[in-house]
Amino acid sequence: MMAAQGEGGAVAFQLEAWSRIRLERVERALELWITADAPAGSGHAAPAALVEAMRYSVLDGGKRLRPLLVLAAHEAVAASTEVGAAAALRAACAVELIHAYSLVHDDMPCMDNDVLRRGKPTVHVRFGEASALLAGDALQALAFELLTPEDGSVECATQARLCSLLARAAGSSGMAGGQAIDLASVGHKLTESELREMHQLKTGALLQGSVLMGAHCGHPSAQALAALSDYGAAIGLAFQVVDDILDVTADSSTLGKTAGKDADNDKPTYVSLMGLARSQSYAQDLLAQAHQALQRSGLAHTGALSALADMVVNRAS
């Protein structure tokens, strides 16, 4: 694994080096798979303008946290990184496509009406609302197409499990459900438990799902799966807590999206409910929970997952 000797003889995981190799692999795959070429046996190529909007929304931007979580969980569970590698790469790209589609739709005027994403105009600003809607729809469909290859590279049972996990994470009891609660909560005060539930669905479900999808590419034990589920839940919620913090502490150029948007739209956030200091403390508590879950997993190679958790909580954008 990617590690180096740190202070006091401690071994520090080299996340940047580890991530660079895997991000290059993910970027190459996304570049290859988001294309106007006709799928095998269909005889119909995708409209070039639609594919342009799809590629604009996915390529050359974003942290790629979800793909990295998929690959890190797979490597933690798999006896060899070659076992389930094809499934893990497809799962990594699929969760990124789902994430990208959700951002395209969330930024539209009927949702958050935002004009800046990843440091550039949002998809509906660049291509128009109708094209943005269709691009999001197509990205969602492509995600499931990637999980079901017909070339024998991914076992049928694994295909079914990955599709099930992704659908649940993205659907009405996951990301879409959380967004519905978010829209209905504008201008309303939520309790801490209500806010937690909203963010567990809106943001946390797909992050937790990414971890579980990666784990299932490597055939996890029941102990490892339960611990990784807890890890994913903790960092999924922590991600949103930190997002709420950054919305009031960072500027738009650093975030790559409009800062202060939540407060302007009177949206309930952890900072508005708990205050800045308590929110920061809560994020650190969730980070500790994530590390504790990894210790319970019984897995030897959790360095990447541990470092990713640190990155989620201590990031500046």
The size of the chain, in residues, is 317
pLDDT of residue 6: 40
pLDDT of residue 12: 77
Read off the amino acid at residue 213.
M
Residue 27, exposed/middle/buried by CB under 10 A (0-12, 13-18, 19+)?
Answer: middle
pLDDT of residue 257: 53
Q: Is 5 helix (H, G, I), strand (E, B) or coil?
A: strand
* Nearest partner of 70 among 35, 99, 41, 44, judged by Cα: 99
Dig out the tokens for 42 from the structure.
């269909």
Tell me the per-residue pLDDT of 170-224, one tens digit each, with 9 for 90 and over: 999 999 999 999 989 888 889 999 999 999 999 999 999 999 999 999 989 999 9
For tokens 């949103």, what's the residue? 240
pLDDT of residue 102: 96
Tell me the per-residue pLDDT of 114-128, one tens digit each, with 9 for 90 and over: 998 888 999 999 999
Would you tell me how many other CB atoms lie within 10 Å of the CB of residue 45?
12
Between the CA atoms of 13, 14, 15 and 16, what dihedral angle is there, to the nearest 10 degrees? 170
**Does the pLDDT value for residue 37 go beyond 90?**
no
pLDDT of residue 10: 43
**Does the pLDDT value for residue 65 go beyond 90?**
yes
Tell me the per-residue pLDDT of 284-297, one tens digit each, with 9 for 90 and over: 999 999 999 999 99
Q: What is the DSSP letter of 200?
A: I
Dig out the tokens for 294 from the structure.
């990894």
Which domains are assigned to the chain?
3-314 (1.10.600.10)
Q: Evaluate the CA torsion angle 260, 172, 96, 92 in order and state its sign.
A: positive
- Please name every residue paired with 3 in a beta bridge, in sequence order, or none if there are none: 13
Q: Round the average pLDDT of the chain to a whole number and report it.
A: 90
**d(C-alpha 106, C-alpha 100), whole Å:** 10
pLDDT of residue 275: 94
**φ, ψ of residue 3 in degrees (nearest 5):** -145, 160
Tell me the per-residue pLDDT of 244-257, one tens digit each, with 9 for 90 and over: 999 888 765 555 55
Region 28-44 average pLDDT: 79
pLDDT of residue 186: 85
Residues of the chain with pLDDT > 70, as a percent, come to 90
Under the banding of pLDDT at 50, 70 and 90, the label for residue 80 is: confident
Measuring CA to CA, how many Å separate 76 from each of 204, 214, 305? 20, 9, 8
Q: Is 219 helix (H, G, I), strand (E, B) or coil?
A: coil
Q: What is the DSSP letter of 121?
A: E
pLDDT of residue 4: 44
Q: Is 188 helix (H, G, I), strand (E, B) or coil?
A: coil
Query: Rg of the Cα trace of the chain?
Result: 19
pLDDT of residue 15: 94
